[in-house]
Structure 1
Amino acid sequence: MAAEKLGLPTSPPYLKDVNQNFPKGLSFASGGAGIFNTTNDGQLERAIALTRQVEMFATVVQNMGKQQNASDVQKYLSKSLFVIVIGSNDLFGYFGSESKIAKTTPQQYIDMMISTFQVQLKVIMIV
């Protein structure tokens, strides 16, 4: 949806055909996903958490590296647009939970979200 707002075509989903070459973009998005692996546990069992989405991205980059030299891959990625929209389901889970996620305060929970998200961003940056 973000692509459409920028006048760009919507990228095909990665899971549609994991062996296909996607020269014009790729989407790892998963409805109901969260920053935490446990977001929506038991409710949306098919949601793919951010950690797994980042793993799928790393696989694509590794496969690109097998087909092209590393500098071409890095040049391609440096010209790519990355959009990450995630976290709302984590917040809904926290505020909708009776357990309040082991009694953490809202600020503690947000801090955990941020630190977990930072780890995944660092993985994306080094891929």
Structure 2
Amino acid sequence: MNKQPMSQKTFRDTDMQAVIGWILRLGVLLSMSIIFIGGVIYLYRHGQAIANYHTFKGIPDFVHNIHGILNGIITFRGQAIIQAGIILLIATPIIRVIFSAIGFVLEKDYLYIGITILVLLIIMASMLSGHAG
């Protein structure tokens, strides 16, 4: 028998699947918590306001870019915190793809490394160009 000592653990596919599962769970729970906290702050500050649906005001300027969102988080603006939670929710599957690529590198599965990198490039090109599907 050719047994490895306990100190030399080998990487297993099930280990990476467990890590990826935890990443997805943690990302969804964290983003949900952030969105909830932002909603509570928003309702605390603006819950008594009466909505005027006759004119469309759009999204505030501070939620259009990452600098505005970060500044809004620092100043406890509910909409900025909600937006940060949504960005984290969108980033969660992207992080999953990155960890899948790491798993394929550790397994030395070059076909799936190429496919995963292609998927990441398509996602990044879509995000940067602003064009969907």
So what's the TM-score if we normalise by structure 2? Answer: 0.29
* Structure with the larger helix share: 2
Larger Rg belongs to? 2
Higher RCO, Cα 8 Å, sep 6+: 2
